[in-house]
Chain A
Amino acid sequence: MSTNLETSSADCYPLSVPDYTPLDELRDLQLKRMQAVVTRAWQHVELFRSRMDERGLKPEDIRSLDDVKKLPFTQKSDLRDTYPFGLFASPMKDVVRLHASSGTTGKPIVVAYTQEDVDVWSSVLARALAGCGLRRGDIVQVAYGYGLFTGGLGAHYGAEALGATVVPASGGHADRQLMLMRDFGVTAMCCTPTYFLHLIDRAAELGIDMKKLPLRAGVFGAEPWTQSMREYIQKMSSIEAFDIYGLSEIIGPGVGCECRRHNGLHIFEDHFYPEIVDPETGEPLPDGTEGELVLTTLSKQAMPMIRYRTHDMTSILTGTCPCGRTLRRIDRIGRRSDDMLIIRGVNVFPSQIETALLETEGTLPHYQILLTRVSGLDQMEVQVEVTPQMFNDKIGALQELHQRLQGALDRVLGIRVRVSLVEAHTIERSEGKAKRVIDRRTS
């Protein structure tokens, strides 16, 4: 006898209708799309075809959603090994957009979109924003970086598809962000949660009362954050903070997002098929059990992804959400099953640092990555032990070494890091192996 209006698709925002697709219809749609995407990948992508051939699999062997288990996994290394265009399933004349994210060896990972893909991406992001209560008439400031990174343009197109007014502020320049928020009457912010923490601090310094701004929602993603961080943000700024999830390899932001019930992130299952597997064995795990999220794109044209290993650890939540959406939910992403670090929304692998040190000095000194958070912004320090080969008796030569390392790391990682030269044997080693990452970011 529920009278909650949210439980009926009839009253939802028009573009959100697919969120409420009856379950049997949704599963039918997923199967149809999965069969199509597997066929497409098998026909047009050498890597997928050869892997399926090895297992004696044909696209027609996918007869039920459960058959997804038979398909081989795709890894980030597959994108690297086929750099730049090896996984494209569309000819370049049909590709309207390329994005790229940092890779582990200096080469980025490239992703492609047809016009249809861009439209799907915009639609899922629009549905995500609608689920956060945003509507036509809202003024959405996008403070993700615009460019090769999918965050900026993804959120931009999504907010436009919703019919909102977009302020494409891009990243950085906190004072200007705050000025725009205040002067334009911005009602929603899209950025990383740590950047928003930084804006809160900066606003206080400038004497701007965040609580008095028209801002009422923040859609935060590109890095894991916690419930306590949400509570802090909401207390300091009087906004409602939402967690949005995505990754470039799948489409960018908009793979999943919280609704106003804030109990997990709804995956836009009509376009992305989620599974949870044991990160060690790759065996599928039942709903409710924590494991690694694996995603299959169901409608991607330019670059289908079959069972992509995200390395994000979460679980598929059981039960239905009171919002009425039939889309399954994943828990907040808390940790990763690999050693990838997310710093100010940028993906960093310790191995990238290793490569940079090795290439710059021809030797691999002991090093340690120290992560801290200063006024809401992640700071990364790389401590490098000075080896006899690197040491020089002249201060000028040491300063050159310092700058050389600094430059190499900045170039490879694409973010500003602080390099410190430290004495040999001062970085703690445990059982002969150095602990590479000390994470002192607390939220």
Chain B
Amino acid sequence: MKIQQISLFAENKPGHILAPMRLLSKEGIGIRSLYLADTQEYGILRMLVADCRKAVALLEANGYVAKVTEVVAVEVEDRPGGMTDVLEALDGSDINIDYMYAFPYVHGDEAILIFRFSDPDAAIERLQSAGINLVASEELLRK
């Protein structure tokens, strides 16, 4: 149930996101979700794309430093308490959330939460046994 996410190093300066975006769009690679973690000087651009392998190869061929990270996509109802259920399921474990971000699901009332866990396999097990709905890669990245 793990999903491959691309992370890209970018300096925090005007125009530094445009160039890699342009590259992906020229090759027809769509971005399902995008999140930018930043400091004053630099940032990490995190992307979910349909064809991860192709996108990484393309970025690397153009001199970018890109890394593939395994993240977990969790589907929650877009209502108060949706997020709490997920966190409750992890409570009492040693699993740390390295980072997370969220985006609304275009097909319905759900929101998608993307997590990078310190131990993704343990997290998946706990979430599934708590009845929380995880989204598979194919489903999430389908158009």
Contacts and interface: CB of A to CB of B under 8 A. Distances in A.
14 contacts: A388-B65, A391-B67, A393-B44, A393-B67, A394-B44, A394-B98, A395-B38, A395-B43, A421-B11, A423-B9, A423-B64, A423-B65, A424-B9, A424-B63
B93 interface: no
A421 B7 CA distance: 16
A423 B39 CA distance: 14
Contact of A395 (B10, B44, B63, B64): B44
Contact of B39 (A391, A393, A395): A395
A393 B116 contact: yes
A215 interface: no
Contact of A420 (B9, B37, B38, B41): B41
A423 B16 contact: yes
A219 B44 CA distance: 50
Interface residues of A, number: 17
A398 interface: yes
Contact of A421 (B41, B63, B98): B41
Interface in B1-49: 5, 7, 9-11, 16, 37-39, 41-44, 46
Given A395-B44, A398-B42, A423-B9, A388 B67 contact: yes
A392 B116 CA distance: 13
Contacts of A395: 37-39, 43-44, 99
Nearest to B69: A393
Q: Is the interface of B mostly helix, strand, loop or mixed?
A: strand
A423 to B, nearest CB: 6
A-B CB proximity, top 6 nearest: A425-B63, A393-B7, A393-B69, A424-B65, A391-B65, A386-B9
Contacts of B39: 395, 398-399
A398 B44 contact: yes
A238 interface: no
Q: Is the interface of A mostly helix, strand, loop or mixed?
A: loop
Interface of B: 5, 7, 9-11, 16, 37-39, 41-44, 46, 63-65, 67, 69, 98-99, 116
A425 B61 CA distance: 11
A398 B9 CA distance: 10
A402 to B, nearest CB: 8
B4 to A, nearest CB: 12
Nearest to A422: B11
A372 interface: no
A420 B11 CA distance: 10
Task: Point out which of B5, B16, B63 has the most chain A C-beta atoms below 10 A from its C-beta.
Answer: B63
Contact of A393 (B38, B42, B46): B46
B98 A423 contact: no
Given A421-B41, A423-B9, A394 B64 contact: no
A146 B56 CA distance: 54
B67 A421 contact: no
Contacts of A398: 9, 39, 42, 44
A422 B65 CA distance: 11
B54 to A, nearest CB: 18
Contacts of B37: 395
Nearest to A385: B65
Interface in A375-405: 386-388, 391-395, 398-399
B20 to A, nearest CB: 10
A421 B11 CA distance: 8
B11 A423 contact: yes
A387 B67 contact: no
Contacts of B9: 386, 391, 398, 421, 423-424
